[in-house]
A and B are shown apart, each in its own frame.
Chain A
Amino acid sequence: MSRLLIRHARVVDPAQRLDVGRDILVVDGVIAKLAERIDDPAAEVIDAAGLIAAPGFIDAHVHLREPGFEYKETVASGAAAAVAGGFTAVCCMANTVPVNDNAAVTEFIRGRAAAAGLARVYPIGAVSKGLGGDSLAEMGEMFRAGAVAFSDDGKPVSNSQLMRKALEYAQIFPAPVIDHCEDANLAGQGVMHEGAVATRLGLRGIPAAAEEVAVVRDIILAQLTGGHVHIAHLSTAGALDRVREGKGAGIRVTCEVTPHHLALTDELVAVTEYDTNTKMNPPLRDAAHVEALIHGVLDGTVDCLATDHAPHHADEKALEFDVAPFGIVGLESAIPVTYNLLVVKHKMPLTRFVALWSANPARVFHLPGGTLKPGSPADITLIDPEARLAVNPERFQSLSRNTPFAGQRLKGWPAATIVAGRVVWRRER
């Protein structure tokens, strides 16, 4: 019997409406007891005085690049980055090579994750075969092999009929269909947000409307089918308004927002003079969109935060802005970036902050965890709210370093990550 005792923690568990000093006893990977004081001489003890103990943080949107692009990231390196970033679980997208569009690939990813033994890794299966956008992948087989949701992320599901059928079919399990909302023709060859900054820099723009047109279609199809659509990396004020209206009308639509879309604006492309680590899709938006997104997080329209962790090798980013690939890593900066913005700056209650990273993604994707109730898996994120550190890509566990946050000094960092009662990562003092 393995026993772990976390003492003197500030337990923040939104599912139990808890924000109080508690000791936590974990037995055999399961939360056994929360109490003001627990003594257990047989247990390994972690002194968590000054630390927040939260249900394990879940990043519902990452790209782990294996199989196919192991030089960018592997399941093992991505899982290491996850736990070093304070995440006990991640959901990984299907745009690998081969595509995760069948049970064999789903099982392969799960096997790699089990071998790494760090974070829990939940594969997301492709909606369409080969991400081709014209016929359904074997969702049922993948679901049985452990897929938790379906998405062609990286690409939108452009064919409305296919999207309709996916939303219908996925109700068997049930599992959400996640869409990367982008009208490909409107987005065109754009490389950053369409607006005054793109005009000044001479870069081709991606209009907010390219996302909003697709979000509106998806909400209409969710209404038609009764299916659950989840909007990936929502980034515009208009898209947020449509989601708010859809929810108000009882349509099953949920959404996530990334830390970078909340913390950065398109002005960063100009300030950094075309640094390709400011290039991602959807692009960094202007201040009005960012303000609307923060408001959407504060008012509860946004269900969860997710990083869209998109590792790329330094050589791939050392190119002209137009041709460098879209995407940045996020796992190892997400918690401090969002803690600073939401808790420190916008005074969001801790229980709500924790919910955005744990209880909410667990609910949206039907995942175990998301709470510290006795009997739950002992997935715990410990956060040091007073830790002040600079984002240092040199120390990332991820194989890639493509972050626009390098050098930013932030407050509130993960201190330790516990998965199934095992301490899988601890910040070195």
Chain B
Amino acid sequence: MSVIAAPRLRGKDLVGIDPLSPGEIQLILDTAEHMKAIAARPIKKVPALRGKTVVNFFMEASTRTRFSFEVAEKRLSADTLNFSASGTSVSKGETLLDTALNLEAMQPDFLVIRHACPGTPHQLARVLKSAVINAGDGAHEHPTQALLDALTIRERRGTLEGQVVTIIGDIQHSRVVRSNILLLSRMGARVRVCAPPSLMPIGIEALGCEAHRRVEDAIPGADVVMMLRIQFERQGRMNFPTGREFFDLFALTPDRLKLARKNALVMHPGPMNRGVEIDSRVADGPQSVILEQVTNGVAVRMAVLYLLAGGHGEPTAD
């Protein structure tokens, strides 16, 4: 299977990986490679989105993703507005529809939304004319994260096809894992997920992966080991006993990493809980590409904005 890039994105929005075809994913990754070149220039800016307005609407705490989008927007010369709060439309005292219509009244071209409630980007995309980009909706999807992960794997490995990617941690509460399973399986990679059964959602296999309950079964033969953040803020006290025990049973340690393919990549979407899901020796070791993921995040978000604005090929300088 070799995937041919689509000529353009079909939808007005990027609400998830789920609506994307393999060709569209390929197009975004190819475009992101061009975008990376811009960051290497002395003047890291192109006029592609000059005169366009982007609203970064973050209803849930985020530093990395918000900054990454903002850098991407600025490098494309867009005007940006930032709104950060936490909670729901109710806690702001208005309906979601009112929130959407108020934003629309400012006539933005893009709405980048992060929200704790799954499906909020979809609900907004239905009523807004602007392009809606999902920057993470609850435990549902985080499409630009999966795209940047894919870009990182593709750069290092040359292809996604046939790669064995093991994703370990809090699968239940992770939007990163859902988007990654959908993307990687669509692009011909083999995905394994691993979590204590108390953090493994029912029917996850249907998204396109194998499910394991022991790290020792999930890692052997892996080309990539991706650790997920244990989201203590989303846990009750019943999903697993302690961070200490989680480390004992599930953390990526140097010994466990040895079970993977030689030179397997170590990835983490951040922020890391060192000493809970990942051993610092691994996080900072030679196989770690965790900071490359962050760099690639900017390129992927530039690509998504550029393509949704109707761009194609390589953006030109002034």
A194, A197, A204, A320: most-surrounded residue (chain B CB, <10 A): A320
Q: Which residues of A178-210 have CB atoms within 8 Å of chain B's CB atoms?
A: 188, 194-205
Question: What's the nearest-Cβ distance from chain A to residue B315, in Å?
Answer: 32
Give the bracket for the number of chain A residues in contact with chain B: 20 to 34
Q: Does B141 sit within 8 A of A, measured CB to CB?
A: yes
Is A200 a contact partner of B178 (Cβ separation < 8 A)?
Answer: yes
Contact A202/B95 with A321-B117, A323-B90, A323-B117 known, Cβ cut-off 8 Å: no
Size of the B side of the interface (Cβ < 8 Å), in residues, is 31
A188, A195, A319: most-surrounded residue (chain B CB, <10 A): A319
Tell me, in angstroms, the Cα distance from A205 to B200 when the chains sit together. Answer: 12
Tell me, in angstroms, the Cα distance from A318 to B89 when the chains sit together. Answer: 10
Q: Closest chain A residue to B116 by CB distance? A: A322
Which of A196, A202, A320 contacts B88, CB < 8 Å?
A: A320
Q: Does B286 sit within 8 A of A, measured CB to CB?
A: no
Q: Does A274 sit within 8 A of B, measured CB to CB?
A: yes
Residues of A within 8 A of B272 (CB): none
Contact A196/B119 with A202-B137, A320-B88, A320-B89 known, Cβ cut-off 8 Å: no
Which of A188, A199, A315 contacts B204, CB < 8 Å?
A: A199
Q: Closest chain B residue to A199 by CB distance? A: B201
Q: Does B207 sit within 8 A of A, measured CB to CB?
A: yes
Contact A199/B202 with A319-B89, A320-B120, A320-B123 known, Cβ cut-off 8 Å: yes
Is A321 a contact partner of B140 (Cβ separation < 8 A)?
Answer: no
Question: What's the nearest-Cβ distance from chain B to residue A206, in Å?
Answer: 12
Type the 1/0 row for B71-89, where 1 means its CB is closer than 8 Å to any CB of A.
0000000000000000011
Residues of B within 8 A of A321 (CB): 117-120, 123
Q: Does A39 sit within 8 A of B, measured CB to CB?
A: no
B98, B115, B116, B118: most-surrounded residue (chain A CB, <10 A): B118
Is B123 a contact partner of A201 (Cβ separation < 8 A)?
Answer: no
Q: Which residues of A307-341 have CB atoms within 8 Å of chain B's CB atoms?
A: 315, 318-323
Tell me, in angstroms, the Cα distance from A198 to B178 when the chains sit together. Answer: 12
Which of A198, A200, A319 contacts B90, CB < 8 Å?
A: A319
Question: What's the nearest-Cβ distance from chain A to residue B48, in Å?
Answer: 30
Which of B88, B203, B206 contacts A319, CB < 8 Å?
A: B88
A195, A204, A273, A274: most-surrounded residue (chain B CB, <10 A): A274
Q: Does B97 sit within 8 A of A, measured CB to CB?
A: yes
Residues of B within 8 A of A322 (CB): 88, 116-118, 138
Residues of A within 8 A of B301 (CB): none
Is A196 a contact partner of B120 (Cβ separation < 8 A)?
Answer: no
Q: Does B237 sit within 8 A of A, measured CB to CB?
A: no
Tell me, in angstroms, the Cα distance from A78 to B279 when the chains sit together. Answer: 62
Tell me, in angstroms, the Cα distance from A26 to B88 when the chains sit together. Answer: 56
Q: Which residues of A274-328 have CB atoms within 8 Å of chain B's CB atoms?
A: 274, 315, 318-323
Contact A202/B139 with A315-B95, A320-B119, A321-B119 known, Cβ cut-off 8 Å: yes
Question: What's the nearest-Cβ distance from chain B to residue A263, in Å?
Answer: 23
Is A196 a contact partner of B117 (Cβ separation < 8 A)?
Answer: no
Q: Closest chain A residue to B118 by CB distance? A: A202
Which of B97, B139, B207 contacts A318, CB < 8 Å?
A: B97
Is B201 a contact partner of A318 (Cβ separation < 8 A)?
Answer: no
Q: Which residues of B97-137 have CB atoms within 8 Å of chain A's CB atoms?
A: 97-98, 115-120, 122-123, 126, 137
Is B90 a contact partner of A201 (Cβ separation < 8 A)?
Answer: no
Question: What's the nearest-Cβ distance from chain B to residue A370, in Å?
Answer: 42
Contact A318/B119 with A196-B203, A323-B88, A323-B90 known, Cβ cut-off 8 Å: no
Tell me, in angstroms, the Cα distance from A356 to B255 when the chains sit together. Answer: 64
Q: Closest chain B residue to A269 by CB distance? A: B119
Is B140 a contact partner of A202 (Cβ separation < 8 A)?
Answer: yes
Question: What's the nearest-Cβ distance from chain A to residue B210, in Å?
Answer: 15
Contact A320/B117 with A202-B178, A274-B122 known, Cβ cut-off 8 Å: yes
Question: What's the nearest-Cβ distance from chain B to residue A186, in Å?
Answer: 11
Q: Does B190 sit within 8 A of A, measured CB to CB?
A: no
Q: Closest chain B residue to A275 by CB distance? A: B123
Q: Does B175 sit within 8 A of A, measured CB to CB?
A: yes
Question: What's the nearest-Cβ distance from chain A to residue B93, in Å?
Answer: 12
Is B88 a contact partner of A273 (Cβ separation < 8 A)?
Answer: no
Q: Closest chain A residue to B200 by CB distance? A: A199
Is B138 a contact partner of A202 (Cβ separation < 8 A)?
Answer: yes
Q: Closest chain B residue to A204 by CB distance? A: B139
Q: Does B96 sit within 8 A of A, measured CB to CB?
A: yes
Q: Closest chain B residue to A273 by CB distance? A: B122
Is B206 a contact partner of A318 (Cβ separation < 8 A)?
Answer: no
Q: Closest chain A residue to B87 by CB distance? A: A323
Question: What's the nearest-Cβ distance from chain B to residue A204, in Å?
Answer: 8
Pairs of residues from A and B, 4 with the lowest C-beta to C-beta distance, nearest first: A202-B140, A196-B203, A274-B119, A320-B117
Known A-B contacts: A202-B118, A321-B123. Give 9 more (CB < 8 A): A196-B206, A199-B202, A199-B206, A202-B138, A274-B122, A320-B89, A322-B88, A322-B118, A323-B117
Task: Name B's A-contacting residues (CB within 8 A).
Answer: 18, 88-90, 95-98, 115-120, 122-123, 126, 137-141, 175, 178, 201-204, 206-207, 236
